[in-house]
Structure 1
Amino acid sequence: MMATLNTTVNLVLKSQIEAVQSVTPMKVTDPRWSRQVSVTDSHGSDIFWRCLHIILYYEKGSGEDSGWLVAGWMKESLGRALVEQPMLAGRLRRVEEGDDRELEIVSNDSGVRLFEARISKTLSEFLDLKEKEDAEAELVFWKDVDEQYPQFCPLFYVQVTNFECGGYSVGLSFSILLADTLVITSFLKRWANIHNNLVSKTDIPKIPMFYVPNLKPKVCSITNPYGLSPTRNHGQSMIFKIGNKNLNQSDDMGKTVSLLCIKEAERKLGIEMASKFSLIVKEPSENIKVENYEKEELVQKPSSFISGITCSSWGDLEASEVAFHEGNKPVHVSHWISSVSGEGLAMVIPSPDEGVSGLNVIVTVPNKFSMW
């Protein structure tokens, strides 16, 4: 029943892609950055499919504000922001070291994909849709990383979608191997500041060079050929912050805290994690370790073993403060982690705040494993 409903929603409501660009850092990254990705389980291929999505919804702020104008200036503003975070414009590649399944992300400046689209709804109509969570798949673009040839696949997509009323959305899709949510939110704020400083200069033209309405006839638009699966609602996520100063001294600490947080997420959400789940640990060195576990394999330690666990939500990441037109903050923000896998996910990430010890843990529990 649900699958039929979701498919119907997407057949009726489709975004039309008007333009596609690649955005690279405005300066060559030298020396190149790299991040090792260690996959210790033969079933770790789902890391190629999982991604974090963020959608920022904006009303038309003024006569000089529109999704077409915002996207037109993004070619330059995003290119400037990527100079500070070049890994977002990088690629995942295989490292030939015997039989080891080693991967790495390298900041090779291959670029981010920027899509411009339109959709046949007003912003208020879209936000009021009963099936909005499913329809949101049309506001983001994601193409799974090719497991055999990952070096050709972007890890970060941006889609600016224009609504009929003049409002617009900015949809962002990041590979989970990049998606340290706290760092991503900081990047978005920095990018928005660069964008606003750029468009506020008095010596720039009112219309950007990459302004699609002046460049491309409407008849050339196409529907999104990839998008997401018929439903965007792959699970529910919770974010935990752990402030124990001794957390990083044990190799098993990631396993311990992830299990504690999984148990807490199950209790709060009323949804049981699948028996198998993926654990992604971002080490202090920035390298990534991907493992797959069964919950029964991890030994439950008393909660007093780790102190200072606090729970937060996507809203606490402050993406609602990101404005690409001065003073025009999002009227709504959506976040979710998608996957074609029915298994759960736990991500363990060191605190990004300088001088602050501790971990952040993101737990995503698939909806189909309901406890009641």
Structure 2
Amino acid sequence: MASHGNSLVPKVSIKGFHSVTPMRITEPRQTRRVLSRDLVGPEMFQRCFNMVQCYMKGEDSGWVVAGWIKESLGRALLEQPMISGRLQKRDRIDGVLEIVSNDSGIRIIEATIQTTLSEFLNLKQREEAEAQLVFWNDIDEHNPQFSPLFYVLVTNFQCGGYSIGISCSILLVDLFLRTEFIKTWASIHNNIVDHNSERKLPLFYLPGVNGTTDSSPDLFSASTPNKNESKTMVFKINAESKNMEIEWCQQIALACVEDAENGLGSEMGAEFCLFVNESFEVIKVESCSKHGMLKPKRKANMEVIYANWDDLGTKISFRLGNKPVHVSHWFRSILGGVVVVIPSPEEEQGAYTVNIFVTVPNEKF
């Protein structure tokens, strides 16, 4: 459906699904334990991190870029094979969860939208429409081993511009951000394109054929809530050491929640979910109460910095010289507030820093 003025939101039509696995078998297998002192609830399976990058028409169309992505991602996943793994229950009796790098793969989706990129970015309802530029299916609660943890959606606009939308399970978001996976991927991608000048088209190329059958529109409506349902603030704080003790993280999260509520003008609610990325091998999930913890007394050397999404360094080009004209990040959070604690990639000037993402439900939505 095309937009007329700004009164209607254009709809995305899916043209194809593909799976990409690492180019080599991952040996030895890597595992990440998901530890929780509480009963595992739906928040473990439904939350994800989303990112959209929009590009004006360049040397390649979105169809060509998607084709090269199918080649570059297979190589990039060798650097971080956990992203192409699956969540599984280690023991059906105790319900312990772990992510295994079993090379099951990620999903790439190709789509079209009946509007130009300029018109799309000028929509009054752009925040609502933008959620269509990513794809996410909730992890199956009963059989999580069959659900991908990472999706890439390439959407082609009528003008020749395109967007690349990424959805990553909240259980792996630190591996995506902390290891700067997207920079590694983009570097591999551009290197492949530059060294394939004789082969103008990628091996896996799906041109925009009008006769291609569209997927059911219900596929998106079930998986793509409005972006405006929540708002996120990003903080950076100095840590005393590399040890991510859960009690310390709970108290720091509470302090950042208070700052986020004041800054965003919305209440978190009495309960919120805390994801602490303790290490690459362990992620802890806790249910926290605003009324069950004391607000920490900040020490003199404990400086809380209000950061922003640009500090993450995720703004990249999948074709040298064609930089994104619009970048957007958000956490999908339809079940109340969430706080994600992620250590910085490396020590900065002798201090260990921690990034804290506070997502608060939007009371005005």
Structural RMSD (CA): 2.3
**Residues 43 and 292 of structure 1 are in contact (CA less than 8 Å); yes or no, is this contact kept in structure 2?**
no
Which residue in 2 is equivalent to 1:209? 203
**Residues 244 and 308 of structure 1 are in contact (CA less than 8 Å); yes or no, is this contact kept in structure 2?**
no
| Residue type at the aligned position of 1:336 | W
1:347 to partner: Cα distance: 1.0
Q: From the superposition, tell whether residues 369 and 254 of structure 1 become closer, same or farther in structure 2 (CA, over 3 Å).
A: farther
Q: Does 1:22 align with 2:19?
A: yes
Specify the SS of the correspondent of 2:123: coil
Which residue in 2 is equivalent to 1:45? 42
| Residue type at the aligned position of 1:20 | F
Q: Does 1:346 align with 2:343?
A: no
Distance 2:33 2:279 in 1: 12
Q: Which of 232, 239, 254 is residue 234 of structure 2 equivalent to? A: 239
Specify the SS of the correspondent of 1:161: strand
Q: Does 1:329 align with 2:323?
A: yes
Which residue in 2 is equivalent to 1:101? 95
Identity %: 48
Distance 2:176 2:151 in 1: 18
**Residues 273 and 369 of structure 1 are in contact (CA less than 8 Å); yes or no, is this contact kept in structure 2?**
no
Q: Which of 36, 54, 59 is residue 56 of structure 2 equivalent to? A: 59
Q: From the superposition, tell whether residues 60 and 183 of structure 1 become closer, same or farther in structure 2 (CA, over 3 Å).
A: same
1:221 to partner: Cα distance: 2.7
* Deviation digits for residues 240-274 of structure 1 (CA, Å, limit 9, x no counterpart): 11113347374411111111111111122222211
Superposition map of 1:1-372 within 5 A: 13-42=10-39, 44-62=41-59, 65-96=60-91, 98=93, 100-180=94-174, 183=177, 186-202=180-196, 204-213=198-207, 218-227=211-220, 228-246=223-241, 248=243, 250-284=245-279, 286-304=281-299, 307-320=302-315, 322-341=316-335, 343-353=336-346, 357-368=352-363
1:97 to partner: Cα distance: 6.9
**Residues 135 and 224 of structure 2 are in contact (CA less than 8 Å); yes or no, is this contact kept in structure 1?**
no
1:181 to partner: Cα distance: 7.5
Question: Is there any run of 5+ residues in structure 1 with no aligned partner, and where?
Answer: 1-8
**Residues 338 and 359 of structure 2 are in contact (CA less than 8 Å); yes or no, is this contact kept in structure 1?**
yes
Q: From the superposition, tell whether residues 189 and 278 of structure 1 become closer, same or farther in structure 2 (CA, over 3 Å).
A: same
Distance 2:175 2:81 in 1: 16
| Residue type at the aligned position of 1:340 | I
| Residue type at the aligned position of 1:79 | G
Q: Point out the more displaced range, 346-355 or 204-213.
A: 346-355
**Residues 272 and 369 of structure 1 are in contact (CA less than 8 Å); yes or no, is this contact kept in structure 2?**
no
Q: Point out the more displaced range, 200-209 or 32-41.
A: 200-209
| Residue type at the aligned position of 1:347 | V
Q: Point out the more displaced range, 274-283 or 37-46.
A: 37-46
Q: TM-score, normalised by structure 1?
A: 0.89
**Residues 347 and 353 of structure 2 are in contact (CA less than 8 Å); yes or no, is this contact kept in structure 1?**
no
Distance 1:255 1:55 in 2: 30
Distance 2:356 2:107 in 1: 28
**Which structure shows the bigger proportion of residues in helix conformation?**
1
Distance 1:167 1:203 in 2: 21
